[in-house]
Amino acid sequence: MSALLLLAQLVATILHIALVLALAPLLAGVVATWRARLLGRVGPPIWQPYANLRRQLSKIILVPETATAAYHIWPLLALSAFITVATLVPGFCTGMVTAGLSDFITVIGLLALARAAILMAALETGFGFSGAAAAREILFSLFAEATMLVIVLSFVQIAHSPSLDGISVALRAQPLGISVSLGFALAATLAVALTETGRIPVDNPSGHLELSMVHEALHLEYSGGLL
């Protein structure tokens, strides 16, 4: 019985990771399409991010002359941290193989590691535009990461569990009703989401002005598969 349970957990974990990696570009495509529709434009198809990924992976990687030997490491480090977080956060099911490792400190630490790798990539070539964007990103992260930590701590207090898997199980099992604390947590989560995804009023993902360009300027010196 334990062997079958372990096999089911392993299959669920692999399926979870596959769905996260496969559907992440689709989510970006849906956001871009609906944003264009709300602005009165046709917009790109929802599968456009898949075509963009394929095109970028087929391009040649151009390395600036001022880059160091760590130029190729930062994007891979950020990607590894994000994929690790995806394996720890429960999606369509709980009780995965990685459930015991999904404590909130580990998840927030991995997200901070990914952010640090992206900032180091922005500072890699010494380009002033990317450096200014990195400074602004650090300022935003001071508020976003602290807010996220408080949000998760409130869930830990409610569920009496330090792991995200345990929080999901506890919140699903007990009726919450109308909760003021969860309402404030939802509002704070939406504010953090606007910051992390580089949306208005924090950033303008479709703009190319120096004063309003933060996330897009962090990887101006990268191309091809590294981009």
What pLDDT is recorded for position 160?
86
Query: pLDDT of 120-170, one tens digit each?
Result: 998 888 877 788 888 888 888 888 888 888 888 888 888 888 888 888 888
What pLDDT is recorded for position 47?
92
What pLDDT is recorded for position 219?
83
**For residue 129, what are the CA distances in angstroms to 61, 71, 176, 213, 220?**
20, 17, 47, 9, 8
Element (H, E) at 179: none
Distance of CA 223 to the CA centre of its chain: 20
CA distance 186 to 192: 10
Query: Three-state DSSP class for 185?
Result: helix
What pLDDT is recorded for position 211?
57
Element (H, E) at 30: helix 2-38
Nearest to 19 by CA among 88, 86, 98: 86
What pLDDT is recorded for position 38?
87
What pLDDT is recorded for position 3?
81
Give me the residue label for tokens 């807010």: 147
CA distance 100 to 51: 37
Residues 80/59, Cβ–Cβ less than 8 Å: no
Low-confidence ranges of the chain (pLDDT < 70): 1, 176, 200-214
